[in-house]
Structure 1
Amino acid sequence: MSEAFNSNEAPEPVGLYPHSRKVGNLLFLSGVGPREKGTKKIPGVELSENGEIISYDIAEQCHSVFKNVRLILEASGSSWDKLIDVTVFLTNMKDDFPTYNKIYAEYFKDNQPCRTTVEISSLPTPIAIELKCIATI
């Protein structure tokens, strides 16, 4: 059996899926981006009138996505220190990895889950980073 969870504090999913799903003592998070709840605003992103990215600040997006992950973990009965695996999707590894890696180290200095970071060509919304996480409960 599994149980789905949604946070009242994190941004709404952009499709038909829950924020997380508990199976046994594991919690699987759906992909989490840096959007703000209740808006289409993406911290650190400037968009043109037709929705194209004009500029973005990867540091601001990192802080926002880590905040959103924490909100989902806590709403689902887990916590930051119980993360065991993190997959990170970046749309610009060459330029963004050094900044992302530095900020990641600040957030994960006390808890060091397994991590995979991959570059992808795009994400469903105009963001530069998304996290897929597994935690214990």
Structure 2
Amino acid sequence: MNDRQAVIPAGMEAVYEKIRYAPAVRVGNTIYVSGQIGRNAAMQLVEDREEQIVQAFENLKLVLGAAGASLSDVVDLTTFHTDMRDLPLFMKVRDRYLDTDPLPAWTAVGAHMLGGTPGYIVEIKAVAVLPESE
């Protein structure tokens, strides 16, 4: 039995059709979200550092919503950073989005380049688990 379902929110169809990956895949009650970067709905890089991090979280929120989940369902967060000196700024923004208890597990990784294009500073990958339906 194959219960995998691609999650493609409105506005991200090009990611699936042209770049050829699912923004997320839902398997049962678990949602695996692909790395979200700071590009807007027009697929353009958001250049301001803080706003780029905000946009990446907004993209994560959009994908989770399309899967029937929210940020409070995130159990594991993996972030990739082109400059680890951005971690204090990243954590400041992260704490605006992820403020539930318990907090998710988190791994931060340094990376040379993200999004296949210079200028991206962060990529956010997540795993969320929905509550069991009754």
Partner of 1:101: 91
Alignment of 1:45-124 (within 5 A): 45=47, 57-94=48-85, 96-111=86-101, 112-123=103-114, 124=116
The alignment partner of 2:10 has SS state of: coil
Distance 1:18 1:33, change over 3 A: same
Distance 2:31 2:7 in 1: 10
- Contact 2:71 2:97 (C-alpha < 8 Å) held by counterparts: no
Distance 1:3 1:115, change over 3 A: same
Equivalent residue letter for 1:21: V
Partner of 2:117: 125
Partner of 2:28: 24
Q: What TM-score do the two structures reach when normalised by structure 1?
A: 0.82
Equivalent residue letter for 1:76: A
Distance 1:100 1:84, change over 3 A: same
1:12 is displaced (CA, Å) by 4.2
Distance 2:5 2:127 in 1: 15
Name segments (4+ residues, structure 1) moved above 6 Å.
Answer: none
**Unaligned runs of at least 5 residues, structure 2:** none
- Contact 1:10 1:36 (C-alpha < 8 Å) held by counterparts: no
1:11 is displaced (CA, Å) by 7.8
Deviations 1:39-89 (A, max 9, x none): 24212x2xxxxxxxxxxx321111111101000000111111101101000
Q: Report the more deviating stretch, 11-20 or 122-131.
A: 11-20
Between Structure 1 and Structure 2, how many residues are aligned?
A: 123
